[in-house]
């Protein structure tokens, strides 16, 4: 049975909790277009040895979707504030924080804002270091949706329209995943039933409207020589078949993280928690293992 957090900035988060209370805590952060159920294949692999918390971010799933100023309440730091609040509410410390897509960016923000709460990060793209490479013709042909989401037309065409939601989400789950990965139709329908509720799609793209998308962030991030590094130990799981984030964009990780190890998911696309759950879970479990373990 899912639970609801105490409010932060007026937003309450829906979250699931699995595993062993008192075991090393793990918080898993989902992406767009998804929700906390993105981790349905990872959580069972972790629950025997860890305390697993999987929230819906602000604007997603069962979490609050307030129609408020997006730049203040749906930014990366605002999303991170809710995750920090949830960690503290549950009395957790030294959390392994893992995420992909939107969840990756939120996890990085938490690590910058409250590094003492986080023992390690396990991340899939986006990661810092792309810089102006997001402006190449190839990249722009993939990131078009972020500009589209800024238009009122996006919500007018899609929000509350189940057929439009279904085909829009199907495009991303098909195009961003590896060639041999197919989302089961039942799983897609469950996601559509969530995103097709009136106001749900609009709330989900508040992240982009807040200026938190990849293009905006890449063009405003500090260059490698001036970067302020994240000092939390970090594992990066980079998918080989992600059309949004070519593997060559991993070349500057050392400039943004003081302790980082790169791993490649050779058979996966963008949705690493579902496309390579064993590899994702293994990295989390290694980080969650007590340092004095044999």
Average pLDDT, the chain: 95
Class assignment of domain 3-288?
A: alpha beta
127 pLDDT above the threshold of 70: yes
- Specify the residue for token string 């970067």: 227
Q: How far apart are CA 30 and CA 106, in angstroms?
A: 10
29, 58 contact by CB (below 8 A): no
Going by their DSSP bridges, the two strands 234-239 and 118-123 should be labelled as: parallel
Q: What angle do CA 87, 92, 93 make, to 5 degrees?
A: 105
CA Rg value for the chain: 18
19 pLDDT above the threshold of 70: yes
Q: What is the pLDDT of residues 224-249, one digit of tens each?
A: 899 999 999 999 999 999 999 999 99
Q: How far apart are CA 242 and CA 226, in angstroms?
A: 28
Q: What is the pLDDT of residue 293?
A: 47
292 pLDDT above the threshold of 60: no
Going by their DSSP bridges, the two strands 14-19 and 3-4 should be labelled as: antiparallel
Q: Domain locations in the chain?
A: 3-288
> Which of the four pLDDT bands, split at 50, 70 and 90, describes residue 291?
low
Give the residue among 285, 211, 234, 251 at the shortest CA–CA distance from 107: 234
144 pLDDT above the threshold of 90: yes
Q: What is the pLDDT of residues 191-215, one digit of tens each?
A: 999 999 999 999 999 999 999 888 8
Q: How far apart are CA 7 and CA 186, in angstroms?
A: 32
- Indicate the length of the chain as a whole number: 294
**For residue 19, which phi and psi values (nearest 5 degrees)?**
90, -150
Higher-confidence position of 290 and 239: 239
Q: Average the pLDDT over 272-278 and give the result.
A: 98
Q: Average the pLDDT over 147-175 and give the result.
A: 97
Q: How far apart are CA 30 and CA 101, in angstroms?
A: 7
17 pLDDT above the threshold of 60: yes
Q: What is the pLDDT of residue 218?
A: 85
Q: What is the pLDDT of residues 130-143, one digit of tens each?
A: 999 999 999 999 99
**91: how many CB neighbours lie within 10 A of its CB?**
7
Q: List all residues 6 or more positions away from 101 whose beta carbon is below 8 Å from its beta carbon.
A: 30, 31, 32, 34, 124, 125, 126, 270
Q: How far apart are CA 29 and CA 98, in angstroms?
A: 6
């Amino acid at each position: 049975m899912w639970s609801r957090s105490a409010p932060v900035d007026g937003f309450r988060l829906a979250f699931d909790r699995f595993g062993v209370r008192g075991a090393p805590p793990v918080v898993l952060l989902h992406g767009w277009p998804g929700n906390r159920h993105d981790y349905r294949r990872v959580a069972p692999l972790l629950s025997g040895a860890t305390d697993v918390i999987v929230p819906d971010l602000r604007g997603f799933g069962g979490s609050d979707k307030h129609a408020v100023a997006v730049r203040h309440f749906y930014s990366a730091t605002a999303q991170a504030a809710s995750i920090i609040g949830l960690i503290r509410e549950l009395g957790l410390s030294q959390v392994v924080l893992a995420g992909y897509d939107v969840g990756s960016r939120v996890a990085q923000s938490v690590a910058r804002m409250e590094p003492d709460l986080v023992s390690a990060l396990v991340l899939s793209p986006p990661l810092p270091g792309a810089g102006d490479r997001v402006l190449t013709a190839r990249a722009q042909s993939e990131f078009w949706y972020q500009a589209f989401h800024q238009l009122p037309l996006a919500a007018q065409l899609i929000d509350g329209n189940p057929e439009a939601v279904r085909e829009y989400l199907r495009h991303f789950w098909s195009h961003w995943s590896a060639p041999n990965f197919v989302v089961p139709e039942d799983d897609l329908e469950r996601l559509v039933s969530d995103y097709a509720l009136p106001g749900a799609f609009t709330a989900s793209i508040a992240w982009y409207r807040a200026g938190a998308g990849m293009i905006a962030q890449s063009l405003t991030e500090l260059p490698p020589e001036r970067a302020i590094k994240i000092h939390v130990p970090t594992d990066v799981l980079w998918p080989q078949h992600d059309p949004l984030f070519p593997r060559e964009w991993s070349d500057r990780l050392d400039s943004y993280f003081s302790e980082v190890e790169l791993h490649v998911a050779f058979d996966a696309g963008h949705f690493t928690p579902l496309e390579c759950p064993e590899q994702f879970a293994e990295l989390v479990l290694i980080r969650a293992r007590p340092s004095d373990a044999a």
